[in-house]
Amino acid sequence: MTPTSSRTARIRALAQHDVAEAQRALSALLGDLFGMNPDNVRINFDKYSLNSLNGFFDSDGKAYFFKFHQEEREEAMAGEYYRAEILTSAGLPVDQPVHMSTEPGEQILVYDRRTDPRFSDVLFALDAEDDPEKRRQAVLAERDLCAKLLDVYRETLHPVTIAQVSAEPIHRLFHERLIDADTRASPGGRLADFYIGKRFIFPDVELDWGRLCRLKFVVNGRPYQSSIGELFDAAATRLRPERLADAGGVVAHGDAHNANVWYVERAGRAQLSFFDPAFAGSHVPTLLAEVKATFHNIFAHPFWLYDPVAATQAFRAQARLEGDHLHVDTDWDLSPVRRDLLEVKATALWRPLLLELKRRDMLPADWRTVLRLGLFLSPTLVMNLRAGARSHTPVSSLIAFSVAVMVGSEPDGGADRMTDFLDRIDPERA
C-alpha cells in the first residue's frame, strides 16, 4: 500500500473540504474493518485533533465513539500502533476499545460512547474562567495520575538495546518529523514541509526562513542562546532513536495530551484514564515518555496552540528586528491551573523519575538538553505554526515560536519559567 492509497489519509483530506463525502467514506471503512452497520456518522471537528480525526456513529442500536491518528507516509514506518494492552498490563488506567484496527493506513479505534468530558475540556474552561475549587479537583486528579505513572515508570525502567528503542512508534512524534522518509536526512518531513523556504508573518515583521532560522530571540527583554535553526539541527542529532537508549526505557503512553484523557467524577473525586494509545510501547525512551504530556498539557496553554483566535483576542504580542535579534514583547503567560499542573509534574513525576535514573546510574549528563529538544519539537512539528498556513494569526504565531524557543533554549543569563522548572527537577539539587 502506498501513502496515497491510505484510506485514513484520504478521509482526513476529504474532511477538510467535503464533510459529507468523508463521512460516507468513513462509514464504508468502519463497515469493512469491523463488519458493522454504521449509521449517522458524524465527524467531530475539535481544536485538539491536530493529527487525528474523531467523532460518533451508531450501529445496531448502540452509540460509539471513533478516533484515528494518521501520520504522513506512515505506511512506510516500522512499529505497531495502539498497543493498549501494554498499558493495562502495567496497571495504568486505560479505556479499552471495543474494536481496533492497527494496519498502517487503516488504524482506527472504536469505543463505546461516553458522556464524560475529556480532561482537555475541563482545563480549557478553567483557562477561560478560573474556579479555585474546580481547579483543586483537577490538580488532585493530575497528582493521582502522576503517582500511578511514577509507579509504572519505576517498575518498568530497564536497560534497552538500540534495536528495542528504535522500534518504538514514539519517534514518529519527534525524529521522524524532522527527516525525509526515504533518505533519512534532515531537513525533511514536517520540518521541510512547514518551514523551509516559507515566509513568516508577525506583527510589524515579515521574514523568510533563511533569516528567521538564524535569529536569536529576545523575549520580554530576556535573550536566548539558540536560534530556531540551531534547535532543529540539535534535535535532528540528539533525538535520533539510536541516541536515546542511554537512559533506558519504560512502559508509557507516549502521547498523553489531555484530549486523550477522560475526566471521570466519582464520589466527589475526579479520576483520569487514558485512551487512544497510538504510540504506547514497552521500551519508550525514559526521557521522552512524559515530554508530550508536559508540553501539550501545560506550555501549550492558555489557548495559543489549540485556539489561536482566542489567544489573539486574549493576549498581545509585538515583534521588532534589531540586527541578528528578534525582540518579542508579549503578555502571554501560563494560567493558574497550568502553573499548578507544572508544579505537580515537577514534584510528583519528573523529579522522582530523574532521581531514580540517577540512583541506577542511567541519567545522561545532557538530560536537560534532551528534555528541552523534545519540548521544542512538541509544538513546532505538531502543526504548522506559520500565520495563515492553518489557523494561526501573526500574534499567535509569534507567541508560538517564542514559547518554543523558551522551552528549547537556555536563556543567555538569568532564569525563566522553564529554567526554574528544570532546576526544580534536577536530582543534583537539594
Domain positions in the chain are 3-112, 119-425
Tens of each residue's pLDDT in the chain, 430 residues: 334 457 888 888 888 889 999 999 999 999 999 999 999 999 988 777 677 789 999 999 999 999 886 666 555 444 455 677 899 999 999 998 899 887 776 778 899 999 999 999 999 999 999 999 999 999 999 999 999 999 999 999 999 999 999 999 999 999 999 999 899 999 999 999 999 999 999 999 999 999 999 999 999 999 999 999 999 999 999 999 999 999 999 999 999 999 999 999 988 899 999 988 888 999 999 999 999 999 999 999 999 999 999 999 999 999 999 999 999 999 999 999 999 999 999 999 999 999 999 999 999 999 999 999 999 999 999 999 999 998 999 999 999 999 999 999 999 988 999 999 999 999 998 6
Question: Is 6 in contact with 105 (CB distance < 8 Å)?
Answer: yes
Which cell goes with 393? Answer: 494569526
Which cell goes with 149? Answer: 505513572
Q: How many CA atoms lie within 13 A of 249 on its CB side?
A: 24
**Residue 268 burial (10 A CB sphere; 0-12, 13-18, 19+):** exposed
**Residue 53 burial (10 A CB sphere; 0-12, 13-18, 19+):** buried
Q: Which CATH class is domain 3-112?
A: alpha beta
pTM for this predicted structure: 0.91
Amino acid at 197: G
Cα separation, 153 vs 150, in Å, equals 5
To 10 degrees, the CA torsion angle through 7, 109, 180, 256? 150
Amino acid at 304: W
Question: Is 275 in contact with 262 (CB distance < 8 Å)?
Answer: yes
- Collapsing DSSP to helix, strand or coil, 271 comes out as strand
Beta bridge partners of 250: 284
Cα separation, 344 vs 369, in Å, equals 21
Name residues whose C-beta falls within 8 Å of residue 231's C-beta, 6 or more positions apart in sequence: 373, 376, 404, 405, 408, 409
Q: In which region does residue 49 sit, left (phi positive, over 0), alpha (psi from -120 to 50) or beta (all else)?
A: beta
